[in-house]
Amino acid sequence: EVQLQASGGGLVQTGGSLRLSCVVSGLTFAEYGIGWFRQMPGKEREGVSCIRGRDGGAYIRDSEKGRFTVSSDNAKNTVYLQMNRMTPGDTAVYYCAAVNLAIDYYCAKGGFTSYGMDYWGKGTQVTVSS
């Protein structure tokens, strides 16, 4: 059974930082890309980042470049999303998801969407206070 467990959410003040973790099990990590998505109240889920388990190649949404970084620890089958200089606009439920890298495009700019993901984890709430 494939499982993705996101954690690390919480309440942070504007300007603060959080690091989210996504622990993946039940699949071959190197064969998948792990994406982070977020969903704000009343809005569609949007992609934030995706990292390839195979080689660590990563995509970060343009608007978050310079604030967010994504990394992975293949030995722990874990992906991290480091979020810095956070603003109330980052308040959302954050989800991690997995996509098979048979098509790399699904974990790259332009191809990275929620519709391409194969597996989803439950979300973790991130709230940024003003």
Per-residue pLDDT tens for 21-57?
999 999 999 999 999 999 998 999 999 999 999 999 9
* 102 against 69, higher pLDDT: 69
Contact call for residues 115 and 1 (beta carbons, < 8 A): no
Contact call for residues 50 and 35 (beta carbons, < 8 A): yes
Q: Residue 40, Cα to own-chain centre: how many angstroms?
A: 14
Tens-place pLDDT, residues 84-125: 999 999 999 999 999 999 888 889 888 898 888 999 999 999
Q: How far apart are the C-alpha atoms of 73 and 32, rounded to whole Å?
A: 13
Look at residue 109 in the predicted model and tell me its pLDDT: 87
Look at residue 41 in the predicted model and tell me its pLDDT: 87
Going through the chain in order, the beta strands assigned E by DSSP cover: 3-7, 10-13, 18-25, 32-39, 46-52, 58-60, 68-73, 78-83, 92-100, 119-120, 124-129
Calculate the alpha carbon distances from 104 to 21, 109, 127 in Å. 22, 10, 32
Q: Which residues contact 72 (CB under 8 A, 6 or more apart)?
A: 34, 51, 53, 56, 78, 79, 80
Look at residue 39 in the predicted model and tell me its pLDDT: 97
Q: Residue 109, Cα to own-chain centre: how many angstroms?
A: 14
Look at residue 74 in the predicted model and tell me its pLDDT: 93
Tens-place pLDDT, residues 3-15: 999 999 999 999 9
